[in-house]
A and B are shown apart, each in its own frame.
Chain A
Amino acid sequence: MARLTVEHLVKSFGSFRALDDVSLAVGDGEFVAILGASGCGKTTLLRQIAGFDRADGGRIVIGETPVSAPDRHVPPERRRIGIVFQSYALWPHMTVAENVGYGLDTAGVREPERSRRIADALALVRLDGFADRRPALLSGGQRQRVALARCLVTEPSLVLLDEPLANLDVHLRAGMEDQFAQFHARTRTTMVYITHDQAEAMALADRIAVMDKGRVLQFAAPSTLYRKPADATVARFIGEGIIVPVGVRAVPGDGHCTVDLFGMPVRMRCAPGQRAGDASAVLRSGDLVPASASDPALAASVVRTIYKGGHFRIEARLASPAPGAHDVVLHLDVPEPSSLAAGAPMTIAVRDGWVLPA
């Protein structure tokens, strides 16, 4: 059952298309990340789902109820969802308990249930004992958890998180990521998590929707995005894929095909319906290794080596790319110790790759 359905959503600001035919179906209890660079439309999408802005076209359905459609717009007050804002948006004139209890007061929840639920929500985010503090006296991570408790206390069926970790120190983020994951495992609340950080999205989400220029490019599980990106933009954005031109020669139909890569035959993964002919493929640094003598290999020269702690990231320019092609720079990781230095010749073997569906 879908908890949140977005169908053909369109939103423009003047001549700028912020959302261009966006469709998503989020299952009940699913943790979905919306991933994209700033300006890709992900915040606009969140504001549409919350009901802060009206859509120009398309539909949004929460549970069974259409909340945005050409002929209706249910206001945010009535959507029964929770939001954790990037700025946390804690009310500075209220204590932690008052912040958390606000939604209960709105809903008319009486004592003693009110106090019990505030205490439960604070315990859930490990902030017992902070009930009487003012937000100004809390650390960034604690404020984040108050915002989470405030959003969960009313038990919304859908929770939207707008870059919730963007304002935290790097060392706090990992801890908060764990908390979000544990929290989702316990409550099974449907969560839509907006972020520009792919590591965060990969670590947390069941599925990720990659957005660019107001469109959803691909909506899939993290490993699918990594192993089978739908197009070059997704391939470059997720895991720094290197896009290379290939000629597909043979498609046996077992999920693999044989391609011609700069004159060298390579076996790669490809989509079931892949046809023979010119195409593009994505190579990951993990697919590339320095060749041993017997391997078929590409000749290259090292441009730069970057020490990464335990291994080197090598950037190498191919010696003879296809005629008319631009310079092709591949990167691969080699373990320490390594004798490769800038300008040194090397040969690279290609173990795997993914032919991008045309």
Chain B
Amino acid sequence: MTAGTDTIGQGLKERIEENALLAVLLLVVAVLSVVPLARLIAEAFAPGGQWSLAAFGSVLGNAATWTATRNSLVVALGGTVLAALLGSAVALIVALTDIRARNAFVFLFVMPLMIAPQVVALAWLTMFGPASALLHLLGIAPPPGSRNPLYSAGGIVLLLGVQYAPLVFLALRAGLRALPGELIEAGFAGGGGRWRVLWRIVLPLMTPPLVAGVALAFVSCLGNFGIPAFLGIPSGYLVLPTLIYQRLAGLGTSVLAEVSVLSILVGVIAIVGIRLQDMMLRRRDFRVVSVSNLATPFELGRWRLPVEIALWSLVVFLILLPMVALALTSLVPAVGVKLSAANATLENFRFVLFDHDAARRAFRNSLGLSVLAAIAIALFAVPLAYFLVWRRSRLLRFVAFFAELPYAIPGVVVAIAAILLFLKPLPLVGFTLYNTVWIILFGYLARFLVLGLRPVVSGFHQLDRTLEEAAQITGARLLRRLRTVILPLVAPAAAAGALLIFLTAFNELTISALLWSSGAETLGVVLFSFQQGGDATYAAALAMLTIVLSLALMLSTLLFAGRVSRGVIPWRD
């Protein structure tokens, strides 16, 4: 068998196929990240195409800007400190000690991440307000007309802390799992006690994941919209995202240049936070030499039960009781009526499911949007992660950076950028995305791309590349290898990513609050308008429905959790 030049050739087809695929990937990341953010910056410096610093002048000269900036910093830093304390304490106990029922505890503790900040905010509001069905049942409700204590900076800080403690927890737990047991044993062998080993060995080595988790919590607190919208707007306590929302909702697209400047302001604060993290980690060497055997858990002995009780009361008070309050409120026949066994009703559920047009549309829109975003990103993430992990290059490092960027910066920034990009009809096709459901889909694709990408990237890291090379050597070109060999092998990781995207998008508010239009409502938007309109019982019923659906999905994934690498599904220990 002679292989002549016609059968071997130079590989032109292979090169064309690979470069075409790479070009498509680059184009998509550019459209989702580079183009909208560039458009946003252009609008701030050159509104309407004319160089002008007028927008900067009017925004920076406005006292409201600086009040909101100060408020943003206060609640973001406060929330971050609380999240860091709560998250790291829980991570150390869960990862290092021999407490029981860890899976159930972790599942509940990370639940706020999966069921959206505005739902958590609503649950807490219904628990503490004078109309609280729970407090009435217990006979300790505050007198009617008294102010809900959560409508304050303190309330926002508390809820941001509860909401984002899981981020610190997840980052630190991942680090602790990679910590070689010998390092701890060597500390004990050197004569150190438990606390000494913890302070001198474990915590110093855990600086990188801890700082990364804290930085992520800071950026998330800063960009959060749902909690300050529910707790801050009623009392006039505005942060940058809610200020942007109010300006745009009140004055429409005439203030786009100003809200662009505000977006850049909040974006810059977020990036400063991320840069600080990089600088802190660059000064020292934290590399752990090798992972051989995992740390054996510290035995708590007679302290085990008290520690378990403390942890579970944390979950009960911070997460379960607000949910119970919410559930009870959803059964109240009308706002202001005291709940009793006799008057409890499912009428609110029937109303939001069948009678309320916007709510019905919102179910359809949110389901459709989150399914589409989850599937599209999961499929796109596989070839992108393939290039990022197995074909590393300088160009691809930029691609990875820009794929991460829309998630790292606050969601309002992405939303404003999307408005600017799609306000005018698209060139060539003449179709306007603005005021349709598709601009929300664009926002979701841009913002949640990295949620789908990360699990697939970690999946590729665990895959033996010779599996691809074995297909390559039989003559299979890249697209065929992706379809027949690589996709089936990373499918569990892609599915886990798709699920995270679905849960996040289904309960999303920040993007859709700015991009929704009549007919294109999402569940988050309808929940927000119920709350703003004083329809607390409808809001509670709608929130309960989303919680039940999210919980059902989270629980069902535990069935295939064994097929993805540990840590990909956050609610599993």
Answer yes or no: do A and B interact: yes
- Chain B proximity mask over A146-188: 1 for CB below 8 Å, otherwise 0: 0000100011010000000000000000000000000000000
In the complex, residue of chain B having the shortest beta-carbon distance to the beta carbon of A76: B472
Task: Report yes or no: A89 in contact with B5, Cβ–Cβ below 8 A.
Answer: no
In the complex, residue of chain B having the shortest beta-carbon distance to the beta carbon of A153: B474
Contacts of B2 in A (CB 8 A): 63-64, 157
Task: Report yes or no: B471 in contact with A102, Cβ–Cβ below 8 A.
Answer: yes
Across the interface, B473 reaches (CB within 8 A) one of A81, A91, A92, A157, namely: A81
Task: Report yes or no: B467 in contact with A89, Cβ–Cβ below 8 A.
Answer: yes
Contacts of B477 in A (CB 8 A): 77
Contacts of A83 in B (CB 8 A): 469-470, 473
The reply on B475 being an interface residue by CB < 8 A is yes
Comparing A65-73, A121-129, A291-299, the segment that makes contact with chain B is A65-73
Task: Report yes or no: A89 in contact with B476, Cβ–Cβ below 8 A.
Answer: no
Residues of B468-526 whose CB lies within 8 A of A: 469-477, 480, 484-485, 488-489
Bound Cα distance A154, B471 (Å)? 12
The reply on A78 being an interface residue by CB < 8 A is yes
Task: Report yes or no: A93 in contact with B11, Cβ–Cβ below 8 A.
Answer: no
Q: What is the predominant secondary structure among interface residues of chain B facing chain A?
A: helix
The reply on A239 being an interface residue by CB < 8 A is no
Task: Report yes or no: A63 in contact with B472, Cβ–Cβ below 8 A.
Answer: no
The reply on B3 being an interface residue by CB < 8 A is yes
The reply on A357 being an interface residue by CB < 8 A is no
Task: Report yes or no: B473 in contact with A78, Cβ–Cβ below 8 A.
Answer: no
Chain B's nearest CB lies how many Å from the CB of A100?
10
Across the interface, A77 reaches (CB within 8 A) one of B466, B472, B484, namely: B472
The reply on A87 being an interface residue by CB < 8 A is yes
Residues of A60-116 whose CB lies within 8 A of B: 62-65, 67, 72-83, 85-87, 89-93, 102-103, 106-107
The reply on A330 being an interface residue by CB < 8 A is no
The reply on A348 being an interface residue by CB < 8 A is no
Chain B's nearest CB lies how many Å from the CB of A108?
10
Contacts of A89 in B (CB 8 A): 464, 466-467, 469-470
The reply on A307 being an interface residue by CB < 8 A is no
Chain A's nearest CB lies how many Å from the CB of B40?
41
- Chain B proximity mask over A32-53: 1 for CB below 8 Å, otherwise 0: 0000000000000000001010
Bound Cα distance A197, B471 (Å)? 28
The reply on B7 being an interface residue by CB < 8 A is yes
Contacts of B472 in A (CB 8 A): 52, 75-77
Bound Cα distance A74, B52 (Å)? 54
Which interface class (under 10, 10 to 19, 20 to 34, 35 or more) fits B? Answer: 20 to 34
Bound Cα distance A216, B5 (Å)? 29
Contacts of B466 in A (CB 8 A): 85-87, 89
Residues of B1-51 whose CB lies within 8 A of A: 1-5, 7-11, 14-15
Task: Report yes or no: B470 in contact with A85, Cβ–Cβ below 8 A.
Answer: yes
In the complex, residue of chain A having the shortest beta-carbon distance to the beta carbon of B469: A52
In the complex, residue of chain B having the shortest beta-carbon distance to the beta carbon of A73: B11
- Chain A proximity mask over B297-320: 1 for CB below 8 Å, otherwise 0: 000000000000000000000000
Contacts of A85 in B (CB 8 A): 466, 469-470
Task: Report yes or no: B10 in contact with A72, Cβ–Cβ below 8 A.
Answer: yes
Task: Report yes or no: A77 in contact with B14, Cβ–Cβ below 8 A.
Answer: yes
Task: Report yes or no: A74 in contact with B471, Cβ–Cβ below 8 A.
Answer: no
Task: Report yes or no: A157 in contact with B469, Cβ–Cβ below 8 A.
Answer: no
Task: Report yes or no: A75 in contact with B8, Cβ–Cβ below 8 A.
Answer: no
Bound Cα distance A65, B8 (Å)? 8
Task: Report yes or no: A78 in contact with B474, Cβ–Cβ below 8 A.
Answer: no
Task: Report yes or no: B3 in contact with A107, Cβ–Cβ below 8 A.
Answer: no
Bound Cα distance A319, B4 (Å)? 65
Task: Report yes or no: A106 in contact with B474, Cβ–Cβ below 8 A.
Answer: yes
Q: Decide yes or no: A107 and B475 within 8 Å by CB, A63-B3, A93-B489 being known contacts.
A: yes
Task: Report yes or no: B3 in contact with A93, Cβ–Cβ below 8 A.
Answer: no
In the complex, residue of chain A having the shortest beta-carbon distance to the beta carbon of B471: A102
Across the interface, A80 reaches (CB within 8 A) one of B10, B469, B475, B476, namely: B475
Most buried by A among B1, B475, B484: B475
- Chain A proximity mask over B339-361: 1 for CB below 8 Å, otherwise 0: 00000000000000000000000
Bound Cα distance A330, B506 (Å)? 78
Across the interface, B8 reaches (CB within 8 A) one of A74, A82, A103, namely: A74
Task: Report yes or no: B464 in contact with A82, Cβ–Cβ below 8 A.
Answer: no
In the complex, residue of chain B having the shortest beta-carbon distance to the beta carbon of A157: B1
Bound Cα distance A52, B468 (Å)? 11
Task: Report yes or no: B475 in contact with A78, Cβ–Cβ below 8 A.
Answer: yes
- Chain B proximity mask over A261-285: 1 for CB below 8 Å, otherwise 0: 0000000000000000000000000
Chain A's nearest CB lies how many Å from the CB of B292?
21
Task: Report yes or no: B3 in contact with A74, Cβ–Cβ below 8 A.
Answer: no
Contacts of A62 in B (CB 8 A): 3, 8
Task: Report yes or no: A103 in contact with B475, Cβ–Cβ below 8 A.
Answer: yes
Bound Cα distance A187, B2 (Å)? 16
In the complex, residue of chain B having the shortest beta-carbon distance to the beta carbon of A98: B484
Bound Cα distance A107, B1 (Å)? 15
Contacts of A157 in B (CB 8 A): 1-3
Contacts of B1 in A (CB 8 A): 155, 157
Bound Cα distance A154, B4 (Å)? 17
Task: Report yes or no: A76 in contact with B480, Cβ–Cβ below 8 A.
Answer: no
Bound Cα distance A76, B8 (Å)? 10
Contacts of B15 in A (CB 8 A): 75
Additional A-B contact list (4), CB under 8 Å, known A64-B4, A76-B472, A93-B488: A77-B475, A91-B467, A106-B480, A154-B474
List 28 interface pairs A-B (beta carbons < 8 Å), by A numbering.
A52-B472, A64-B4, A65-B3, A65-B5, A65-B8, A74-B9, A74-B11, A75-B15, A76-B469, A77-B14, A77-B473, A77-B476, A78-B8, A79-B8, A80-B3, A83-B469, A85-B469, A89-B464, A89-B469, A89-B470, A91-B489, A93-B488, A93-B489, A102-B474, A103-B475, A107-B475, A154-B474, A155-B1
